[in-house]
C-alpha cells in the first residue's frame, strides 16, 4: 500500500514537472519567434529608434527614416518639409507635432 501511494505521488510530481517544462518550452518558442522577427528586420532598422510621436524611425544623427519602407526592409531618409517629412519612395507623409500646420490637417493617409 505504501508503494502505491508513493507511486501516485511520484506520478503527480512528474506530471507537474512535465506541465512546468511544457510551459517553459512554449515561452522559449515565443521568444525564439520574437528573435527571428527582430533578426529579419534588423538590417534596415539597425541603429534606428521608432519615434511614436512622429511615426518615423530616427537615427543617432536625428535623421528621420520612412517606417513604411523599413517594414519592407528598405531604409530611406525622409525629405524634410516645413511641417513634417515626406518619403520620396512611397510618398508617405509624416507630420511633425513640433511643427504644426496652421490648418488642422490630420494625417489619415494610412491608405497611401
- Per CB under 5 A, residues contacting Zn ion are 66, 68-69, 87, 89-90, 92
Decide: 23 and 30 in contact? Cβ < 8 Å: no
Task: Select 44 or 90, whichever has its Cβ closest to Zn ion.
Answer: 90
How many residues are there in the chain?
112
Q: What is the largest CA-CA distance in the chain?
A: 86
**CB of 62 vs Zn ion, minimal distance in Å:** 18
Closest CB to Zn ion among 48 and 87?
87
CB 53 within 8 A of CB 97: yes
* Smallest gap from residue 67 Cβ to Zn ion (A): 8
Closer Cβ to Zn ion, 27 or 71, answer by number: 71
Amino acid at each position: 500500500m505504501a508503494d502505491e501511494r508513493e507511486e501516485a505521488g511520484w506520478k503527480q510530481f512528474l506530471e507537474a514537472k512535465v506541465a512546468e517544462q511544457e510551459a517553459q518550452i512554449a515561452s522559449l518558442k515565443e521568444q525564439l519567434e520574437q528573435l527571428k522577427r527582430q533578426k529579419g528586420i534588423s538590417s534596415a532598422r539597425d541603429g534606428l529608434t521608432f519615434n511614436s510621436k512622429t511615426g518615423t524611425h530616427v537615427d543617432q544623427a536625428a535623421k528621420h527614416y520612412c517606417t513604411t519602407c523599413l517594414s519592407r526592409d528598405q531604409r530611406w531618409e525622409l525629405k524634410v518639409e516645413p511641417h513634417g517629412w515626406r518619403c520620396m519612395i512611397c510618398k508617405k507623409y509624416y507630420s511633425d507635432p513640433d511643427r504644426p500646420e496652421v490648418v488642422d490637417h490630420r494625417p489619415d493617409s494610412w491608405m497611401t
